[in-house]
Amino acid sequence: MHPTKKKIIIIILMTNQTSLSGFLLLEFTEVRELQILHFLVFLVLYLATVTGNLLIISAVAFDHRLHTPMYLFLMNLAIQDLSAVSVIMPKSMANSLFNIRHISYWGCVAQVFSLIIFLASDASLLTVMAYDRFVAICNPLQYEMVMNKQDCIKMIAGVWTAGLLIGSLHATGTFATPFCSNVVNQFFCEVPAMLKISCSDLNLPEIGIIVLGIVLALVCFVFVIISYVHIFIAVLRIPSLQGRQKAFSTCLPHLIVFSTFILTASIAYLKPTPAVPSNLDLTFTVLYSMVPSMMNPVIYSIRNKEIKTSISKLLRSSKCTSFGF
């Protein structure tokens, strides 16, 4: 196409940007039976994620013995995971169930804004949780003084503030330039997919924000790695085998959750974004958008006796209430 004609088309698209009513999301299949199957599979996964995270939230909220920094952080992680998956999955399930692809312009903005908030908050909170484990194992005598209630509340507030700030920057940067198409090659409004349909070949505001996000993510990653190096050194100095095992058991769930988060997020955001996503690309997207949120409660419940005991009591109490005892 001649450059002049291309410029004219872009100008027309930019002029019509204000009338853009929404976007068309990617559908997994056009076969009606497979659409229903997709809805049912996502429904099962979503209900499992909601149930697991609500159990963690309820266990910590109603058991006063769990009102300690580690479990308050864990409750916030469950809230963030539950919120992140709720931003994506209900809309995707509704699209499959009713055989539609449409999402409104502001609905798409809300998805980008909300998802980045919860992902950024997750990264920040996992960093804070690494610091909590560092203080508990490397400086146990100063733990209550360093990780007091007021400081924990400030840390949690800082985590949510960082998420809100990064979410606002990404939403503003992503939608700052006009779009040359309303067809999003993803089953939800994801930043890389939105940049693919931007009229600007070089979206400087969003690229600058992405670079800032990568730098902040690297800072969090390095901080966690340094914390665990000190933790492992301190654990290896514990004379008794039972003491070392107990110390490792308190760190292992967080280490697994952090590794899963970093791995899935890296696959999702560092891999090239194809013009037309393959089944493998969609699989990776489902993995990073659902699996961490679904597995985090399981990981913490399996390795933590206090959480398992609290959840058991909560379930027994709910059964007794339902039967009128």
The pLDDT of residue 208 is 76
The pLDDT of residue 277 is 65
The pLDDT of residue 13 is 41
The separation between CA 321 and the C-alpha centre of its own chain, rounded to angstroms, equals 34
Q: In the chain, what are the helix, strand and coil shares in percent, each to the nearest 5?
A: 80, 5, 15
The pLDDT of residue 145 is 87
Residue matched to tokens 């090239």: 272
Q: What is the pLDDT of residues 275-325, one digit of tens each?
A: 666 677 777 777 778 888 888 888 887 767 788 888 888 777 766 555 454
The pLDDT of residue 250 is 79
- All structural domains of the chain: 22-305 (1.20.1070.10)
One-letter amino acid for residue 247 of the chain: A
What does residue 176 show for φ and ψ, rounded to 5 degrees?
A: -75, -30
Using alpha carbons, select from 29, 33, 35, 74 the residue that is nearest to residue 55. Answer: 74
Taking the C-alpha atoms of residue 283 and residue 101, their distance in angstroms, rounded to an integer, is 19
List own/partner pairs for 210-219 with CB under 8 A and 24 or more apart: 212/169, 213/120, 213/166, 213/170, 216/123, 216/166, 217/123, 217/265
- From first to last of its 325 residues, what are the pLDDT tens digits of the chain? 444 444 444 334 444 443 467 899 988 878 888 889 989 999 999 999 999 999 999 988 888 888 888 889 999 999 999 999 999 999 999 998 998 889 999 999 999 999 999 989 998 999 999 999 999 888 888 888 888 888 899 999 999 999 999 999 888 888 888 888 889 888 899 888 888 888 876 666 667 777 777 788 888 889 999 999 999 898 888 888 887 888 788 788 888 888 888 877 777 666 666 666 667 777 777 777 888 888 888 888 776 778 888 888 877 776 655 545 4
The pLDDT of residue 164 is 94
Taking the C-alpha atoms of residue 307 and residue 311, their distance in angstroms, rounded to an integer, is 6
The pLDDT of residue 245 is 81
Q: What is this structure's pTM?
A: 0.84
CA distance readout (Å), 14 to 76, 174, 295: 41, 15, 43
What would the two tokens of residue 28 be? 């997994």
Taking the C-alpha atoms of residue 311 and residue 55, their distance in angstroms, rounded to an integer, is 7
Taking the C-alpha atoms of residue 138 and residue 228, their distance in angstroms, rounded to an integer, is 10
SS3 202: coil
Q: Are 167 and 191 in contact (CB under 8 A)?
A: no
One-letter amino acid for residue 195 of the chain: L
The pLDDT of residue 319 is 61
CA distance readout (Å), 35 to 41, 61, 193, 290: 10, 38, 22, 18
What would the two tokens of residue 29 be? 């299949």
Taking the C-alpha atoms of residue 262 and residue 267, their distance in angstroms, rounded to an integer, is 9
Taking the C-alpha atoms of residue 121 and residue 134, their distance in angstroms, rounded to an integer, is 20
The pLDDT of residue 191 is 85
Q: Are 235 and 248 in contact (CB under 8 A)?
A: yes
Question: 268: Cβ–Cβ under 8 A, 6 or more apart, which residues?
Answer: 284, 285, 288, 289
